[in-house]
Structure formats: structure tokens, C-alpha cells
Amino acid sequence: MARVYNFSAGPAALPLKVLERAASEMTEYGTSGQSVMEMSHRSRDFEEIINGCESLLRSTLSIPDNYKVLFLQGGASSQFAMVPLNLMNGSGKADFVLTGQWAKKAYQEASRYGECKAVASSADKTFSYIPALDPDTFTRDADYFHICMNNTIYGTRFTELPQTGDVPLVADMSSCILSEPVDVSKFGLIYAGAQKNMGPAGLTVVIVREDLIGHAREITPTMFNYQIHADSGSMYNTPPTYGIYILGLVLEWLQNDMGGLEKMKAYNEKKAALLYDYLDSSKLFRPTVQGKDRSIMNVPFVTGQEELDKKFVKESVAAGFVNLKGHRSVGGMRASIYNAMPLEGVEALVAFMKEFEQNNG
């Protein structure tokens, strides 16, 4: 059976090399005589896996020493509550930029715990752009300022960070982490579900500045307290062991096969440019996002005719391109082209789209 080109927004494609390596180690990891899945998380073998994974993540993202890396569960969605429970401990206020459904969910969840302000929104145009931000409108004594760095559903991304001064910037990077270098020191906290660009679902990575840990609210559940996880090296309870192992393999692939984050970024930009260039020139397809806000990870596009969109999705599946159907709130199509999508996949997709345009234009 041939592998398809998988444009899923998440859980998403993983590098074939990583899957093959995992397959080769499935029943026996090293000389342990067991699968990573069967291993005690307190064993020496697993200790090496989690420490290796963390140190690779630290070197890949150049994470400063005064940041903790936490390997958690519960998805990015749990962070919508975990962030306010741990960080909303001064004024009890936080600012949000509403750039899509995930940003809105983070805002709504945090609103249960404190005074949240939406400083800007792009809801007026179906979140197809990143709104301009005026620092004068920011809450000066906010406990944090939250953005969703890459908007998975709408295909937009922040290319400039808000100037929040001393207010810690918190970013949901679920769908863009590891796609390009980021200056971690500009953020108080970064979180991401693994299932887009890092590994399988079930692992959530949190990168948090140390001074933001240790001030959780009294009512915070133990499992939602960053300090508990930081103090126990993500081993307070059983961490998502297999996901951590796969993330380690993905990071090895990123370093050894892709040449690191700078090269990964260039590769991702090349893939995105190929698709956007075609979309901009097409008379049938139209990208839903314009200009610099365009995501290089998620590319939504439409024909403008629902029936034709349906036909395209149907024919694309038959041609070996899966998960191109757009999110129901945007309609049309969406190609998620995360790190693991090879250039050949995007080339093949564009060729297929050209052919479709010829037959249906």
C-alpha cells in the first residue's frame, strides 16, 4: 500500500523516517528487550529518552536556561485554563487578541478566572487577517498577554510580536512550533499540543520562564500546577512516554535530515510560496488570506462555488491527497503543510490543482 500525501491540520503527517525508525524499535528499544510503550517511566532507558528529548528541544529552539520545559498531557486546550490558574495571580487581568477559534477559546476559558480583555479581533472578516495592535489599549497591569501565534483554522500568523513591555507574552504555538526559529526570551510562556508539528496526540509541551512558576492559585488542581511538574521533571505522574520518545525522533530528524530550524524555515517557506504563487495566479482557486499574515503552515483556499469545492475534495482523495477539506467555519479547502510534508507533496498537489483547473475552469 502506498502512503498518501496527508494535508491534515492535526493529528498530522509525521516524517516517514521517524515512523520507520519507531517501527524498527517497536518491539525492542535498544537492548532493553521491551517497547518504549511498555517501559517504566522511571527506568534508566526512559530517563535517557526524556532527557535526550528535552536537551534536543532546548538546543533546537535555543531555550534559555531560565526556562523550564514541561512534558504534559491534556492538549493545548488544557493550557487555556492552566495558564490563568498559574499566571493570573497579580491584578487578575489578562489581554487577548482574538484571531480565531483557538484564541477565542483561550479567552473564554481564562474569563472564568479573571478579568479578560480582547484588545483586538479579526472576527469581522472571518479571521482572515491579523488585526493591528495599539499598545496604548493594552492593560498595563495585566498578568499576561495571550496570542495564538499561528491560526490553524484560518491560515494566518503573527509576523510581529505585540509590544507588551513587562507583561509576559503567552503564545499558543500548537501549529507552528519548530517550523522556524523563535526568540524564546521574548515570551513568558509558550505552549503547544504535539500533534501538528512535533509528534502524536497526547503530548503537550510547555516552555515557561521560571519566575512565572510557583504562584498558582490556591484552588489550582495539583495536575494543573506548573510548579508540581517543574519540580518533578515532568514525572509527577506518568508522562506521555511514547509521545516524548517520538518527539525525540522528530527532533533528531529535524537536526540531522533537515539541517536545523533555519533550514526548516527556508524549506517551509519554499513549500508555502509554491502553493500561494499558484493560488494567486489561478482563475479558479482563491486563497482566503492576503499579504504578510499568511501562514506558512496552513493554507486555506476556495473556488467560491460549494459544489466545485466538494468535487475537488472528492477527486483529490481519489488522487492520493487526503484531508484537504477546509474547516467548516471557512469552507472550501485547507492544505496543512507542516514540517513533515515534503516539497514533492506540495508540487504534486499544485500539479493536481492545475489539472483540475483546466478541466473545470
Q: Which of 68, 93, 95, 102 is catalytic?
A: 102
CA-to-CA distance for 96 and 2, rounded, in angstroms? Answer: 44
102 tagged catalytic: yes
Q: How many residues bind ligand PLP (CB under 6 A)?
A: 12
CA-to-CA distance for 252 and 52, rounded, in angstroms? Answer: 10
Q: Which of 68, 196, 271, 325 is catalytic?
A: 196
Q: What minimum distance in Å lies between the beta carbon of 174 and ligand PLP?
A: 4
Q: Which of 95, 143, 172, 293 is catalytic?
A: 172
Residues 22-61, mask of contacts with ligand PLP (x by CB under 6 A)? ----------------------------------------
Nearer to ligand PLP, 268 or 303 (CB): 268
Q: What is the 3-state secondary structure (H, E, C) of the chain?
A: CCCCEECCCCCCCCCHHHHHHHHHCCCCCCCCCCCHHHCCCCCHHHHHHHHHHHHHHHHHHCCCCCEEEEEECCHHHHHHHHHHHHHCCCCCEEEEEECCHHHHHHHHHHCCCCEEEEEEECHHHCCCCCCCCCHHHCCCCCCEEEEECEECCCCEECCCCCCCCCCCEEEECCCCCCCCCCCHHHCCEEEEECCCCCCCCCCEEEEEEHHHCCCCCCCCCHHHCHHHHHHCCCCCCCCCHHHHHHHHHHHHHHHHCCCCHHHHHHHHHHHHHHHHHHHHHCCCCEECCCHHHECCCEEEEECCCHHHHHHHHHHHHHCCEECCECCCCCCCEEEECCCCCCHHHHHHHHHHHHHHHHHHC
Q: Of 146-205, which residues contact ligand PLP (CB under 6 A)?
A: 148, 152, 172, 174-175, 193, 196
The answer to whether residue 86 forms part of the interface with ligand PLP (CB under 6 A) is no
Q: What minimum distance in Å lies between the beta carbon of 141 and ligand PLP?
A: 27
Nearer to ligand PLP, 51 or 108 (CB): 108
134 tagged catalytic: no
Q: Pick from 7, 14, 75, 287: which binds ligand PLP (CB under 6 A)?
A: 75
Q: What minimum distance in Å lies between the beta carbon of 196 and ligand PLP?
A: 6
Nearer to ligand PLP, 196 or 334 (CB): 196
Q: What minimum distance in Å lies between the beta carbon of 71 and ligand PLP?
A: 14
The answer to whether residue 10 forms part of the interface with ligand PLP (CB under 6 A) is yes
Nearer to ligand PLP, 97 or 148 (CB): 148
Nearer to ligand PLP, 123 or 350 (CB): 123
The answer to whether residue 114 forms part of the interface with ligand PLP (CB under 6 A) is no
Nearer to ligand PLP, 44 or 112 (CB): 112
68 tagged catalytic: no
Nearer to ligand PLP, 68 or 196 (CB): 196
The answer to whether residue 77 forms part of the interface with ligand PLP (CB under 6 A) is yes
- Spatial CA neighbour of 352 closest among 291, 287, 298, 274: 274
Q: What minimum distance in Å lies between the beta carbon of 172 and ligand PLP?
A: 5
The answer to whether residue 333 forms part of the interface with ligand PLP (CB under 6 A) is no
Active site residues: 102, 172, 196
Write out the residues near ligand PLP by the rule CB under 6 A: 10, 75-77, 102, 148, 152, 172, 174-175, 193, 196
